[in-house]
A and B are shown apart, each in its own frame.
Chain A
């Protein structure tokens, strides 16, 4: 097996979320980011990617809701120092056929017509990974926002399998994967099942206007809640 040897660089997420459990995350780890609506899950996931982009790592976002150009603009605001040729987006709100193209500033965008087109998303991810690799990104971070939208297009079984296959692919690629889910939009059984496709979870909640997070499953016992 070629993946995750000791020599590989661990991912340090503590600049974004200061937990000991996130200090040294193994390449190939896939993390579910779970929290109620409007609690900052996507914000957190993109911040983790932006943090990586400023360390010359590749960034790949699969978005089910926002247009690629908006995602790119937002992303580059967060990571002004990023090498744009190592940033890529799979936009699932495309119109018409699947297609990939480099933007004027050198990022790569792949369009898929629906979040239910799993094959198209797969091809987009493959093309993006290749693009990032060709532009010198030896490691990278991936975010999918959001699984909740995917669950409205396809059933739990398919989304579970999709998550598992994607996780395996990112494990092989040595990427760090983040997948957001709106915990208030699904029943407990769905969350319980989807969770199993991941190595760990970052849970978010909002208490009296304060955002708190905790980490489960990545290193030892669940952490305590902590404001971020």
Chain B
């Protein structure tokens, strides 16, 4: 993630008119990059890219192959597959984070990009939450409760843990969506592989 800077969206789409339409819809809110093929898409990819909109059916490298290369490179971006047919959870198992069925409307595109950015934010928060919980547990294991009551670092830590827990439950609607749920779990296993 690129922190507080404008999020970067990469559009990989072989039809120029379609790519330009997406660009027009997104350009006000995001920094948009365009690529006309899978190879070009891979060339445009770097750590700055937050979300990739990837057309599945393209001449040359297919969307599935591009996704595979992205995951091989260990890039932290979210990938939405743009497809003509409605898939199911298989898509999530393949490693895509979301899918969009053509024809796409502006609002739908915005919602998907927002949702994927929110998932990244959730993952980052969950990682921070875990780190702080570890720290808190370490302090609790090494210092007595009387000592901790006066320890400013510990008190701040505890406060931050509570805050983060609340922030997490406000993000992604508290994981009430099946797709968010499964994609988040898949993200956890990916880290382990």
Contacts and interface: CB of A to CB of B under 8 A. Distances in A.
Interface of A: 1-3, 116-119, 121-123, 125-126, 154-155, 157-158, 160-162, 164-165, 168-169, 171-173, 188-189, 192-193, 196
A143 B182 CA distance: 19
Interface of B: 89, 92-93, 126-127, 129-130, 133-134, 136-138, 140-141, 161, 168-169, 173-176, 178, 181-182, 184-186, 188-189, 191-192
Contact of A162 (B127, B133, B185): B185
B141 A165 contact: no
B185 A2 contact: no
B182 A168 contact: no
B187 to A, nearest CB: 9
Interface of chain A: mostly helix, strand, loop or mixed? helix
Contacts, number: 86
B173 A189 contact: no
Contacts of B126: 161, 164-165
Contact of B184 (A117, A155, A165, A193): A165
A162 to B, nearest CB: 6
Given A155-B192, A172-B176, A123 B137 contact: no
A157 B131 CA distance: 9
A15 to B, nearest CB: 29
A193 B161 CA distance: 12
Given A119-B189, A162-B188, A193-B137, A1 B181 contact: no
A122 to B, nearest CB: 4
Given A126-B89, A168-B168, A193-B130, 11 more contacts: A118-B185, A118-B189, A119-B92, A119-B182, A122-B181, A154-B192, A158-B192, A160-B133, A168-B175, A192-B137, A192-B140
Given A158-B188, A189-B137, A193-B137, A122 B130 contact: no
10 contacts: A3-B176, A121-B185, A122-B181, A123-B89, A165-B181, A165-B184, A169-B175, A171-B174, A172-B175, A188-B141
Given A158-B191, A188-B141, A189-B138, A196 B185 contact: no
A181 B177 CA distance: 27
A165 B174 contact: no
A193 B134 contact: yes
A133 B173 CA distance: 20
Given A3-B176, A169-B181, A161 B130 contact: yes
A117 B129 CA distance: 23
A172 B174 CA distance: 6
Nearest to A117: B189
A161 B188 contact: yes
Contacts of B138: 189
B189 A165 contact: no
B181 A164 contact: no
A3 B173 CA distance: 10
Contacts of A157: 130
Contacts of B192: 116, 154-155, 158
A189 B141 contact: yes
Contacts of B174: 1, 3, 168, 171-172
Contacts of A158: 188-189, 191-192
